Amino acid sequence: MPHRPETNSSRGVTWERLRKDIDSGLTGDKVNFPDPAAAPLGTDSEAAGVPTDPTAISDAHRYETRNLKAPKQDRGAALYLTFIVTIGCFLGIALTLSR
């Protein structure tokens, strides 16, 4: 089931939700581990009573999670398969030339 961001009906996706998605590894650019931020995403502004435009937060969330819709490929498996095929080709050529 695809990840659905937590929303607040009056504000949409929040900076806190985006930060949690990034920290949990859902955006694909880091591992699942909390990252203490010196300047947290927008939460300081929200706490000061100057909230960010909800459209900007939604745009940021959409940008950060844009690659989640595409299936992740296992590059290790592809590299391993390429290596095995290459070795097989070299062995085949070596056996052919040794005759």
5 contacts 17 by C-beta, under 8 angstroms = yes
d(CA 5, CA 30): 18
Taking only the tens place, the pLDDT of each residue in 60-79 is: 888 887 766 555 566 777 78
For the question of whether the overall pTM of this predicted structure is more than 0.75, the answer is no
pLDDT tens, position by position, 4-34: 444 444 446 788 888 888 888 887 777 777 7
Element (H, E) at 62: helix 54-64
Q: What is the pLDDT of residue 70?
A: 52
Question: Taking the C-alpha atoms of 6, 12, 14 and 17 in order, what is their torsion angle to the nearest 10 degrees?
Answer: 20
Question: What is the structure's pLDDT at 4?
Answer: 46
Digit-coded pLDDT (tens) for 47-58: 788 878 888 888
* Mean pLDDT of the region 35-43: 70
- pLDDT number for residue 75: 72
